[in-house]
A = this chain, B = another copy of it.
Amino acid sequence: MHRSLVSISDLTDEEVTELIDLSKVFREVNSREIPKVPALRGKTVATLFFENSTRTRLSFELAATRLSADVLTFTLGSSSVSKGESLRDTAETIESLGADLIIMRHSSSGAVGLVGSWLDIPLVNAGDGAHEHPTQALLDAFTLMDQFETGPRLDGINVAIVGDVLHSRVARSNVQLMSRLGAKITLVGPPVLLPLDLSLWPVKVSHSLDEVLAGSDVLYLLRIQSERFSESLVPSLSEFAKSFSLNMERLAKAKKETVVMHPGPMIRGVEITGEVADSPQSLVRKQVENGVSVRMAVLYWLLGAGQERLEPIW
């Protein structure tokens, strides 16, 4: 029976801890003079991105390369999809070519899980619509455990997730994982950018960023997806920014230990100012850096390689 990582709910608490522990192993590997291990030599990892992305695809491809896997890159632009091939045939073709694992991104919520039900190889969800982005949540948790030295938990950490929660798969995965790990989460944004029914979400809600500043250990900002504004959800970008953009003035009202996170890509001047993005309290670059280690952990875990193949490579 093969495993996949489509949703945070696919993971038991023990498996989360196992992945965090593996991430530490691979962070050590990444600090070596030659940051590679032969763990997945001979394995073929395919990226299947139906939605454009740089950071996520390159992060996964670098993770695969550092595990000595071979990488097949499928990009939408150059594909048979334009000739009318079905999603199922595309995925099955990649599997038949010999891929041992597929990393997939798609604009439709649920598309990755559907493909997973068709294939006999592990699948990693690299973001599907407004549904989930589980490796982002894992790398964020890993980054926070490191920052606050809370061990394998996030007990007592107050996290404000700010902005366009409604359309955010990052928010959905992070709310699940962080709350399971003991963090207290507040969603912050104008009502039109929050999900209508939050009764089952383990969160508090605020419509004022200013009110949550002093009580938050983490200010987690989401990208404002400007394409949504054409749908008239919010009056204007500048009005949104006036109330919900994190600038230095607002950051000064938070504790000195409070950190700022963002899954990227940031739109400076909208949800975050350049000064905040580059401030010492920003963990944005640390998130990107940890992402490679966490994705190495996920690939290694899913392909079940033996621990003995983590020796240094020459």
Contacts and interface: CB of A to CB of B under 8 A. Distances in A.
A58 B83 contact: no
A268 interface: yes
A97 interface: yes
Interface string A133-165: 000000000000000000000000000000000
A35 B100 CA distance: 11
A41 B34 contact: yes
Nearest to A55: B93
A197 interface: no
A62 interface: yes
Q: In the complex this chain forms, how many copies of it are found? A: 3
A78 B97 contact: no
A206 interface: no
How many of chain A's residues touch chain B, expressed as a range? 35 or more
A229 to B, nearest CB: 12
A11 interface: no
Given A44-B62, A288-B97, A266 B85 contact: yes
Nearest to A268: B86
Interface stretch (A1-9, A67-75, A186-194, A247-255): A67-75
A245 interface: no
Interface in A37-86: 38, 41-42, 44, 49, 52-55, 57-59, 61-62, 65-66, 70, 72, 74-75, 77-86
Interface of A: 30, 32-36, 38, 41-42, 44, 49, 52-55, 57-59, 61-62, 65-66, 70, 72, 74-75, 77-86, 89-90, 92-98, 223, 226, 264-268, 270, 274, 277, 285-286, 288-289, 291-292, 313-314
9 contacts: A30-B98, A34-B41, A41-B313, A49-B78, A52-B82, A83-B267, A92-B285, A93-B264, A97-B288
Across the A-B interface, give the 3 residue pairs with the lowest CB-CB distance, nearest first.
Answer: A34-B42, A85-B265, A96-B288
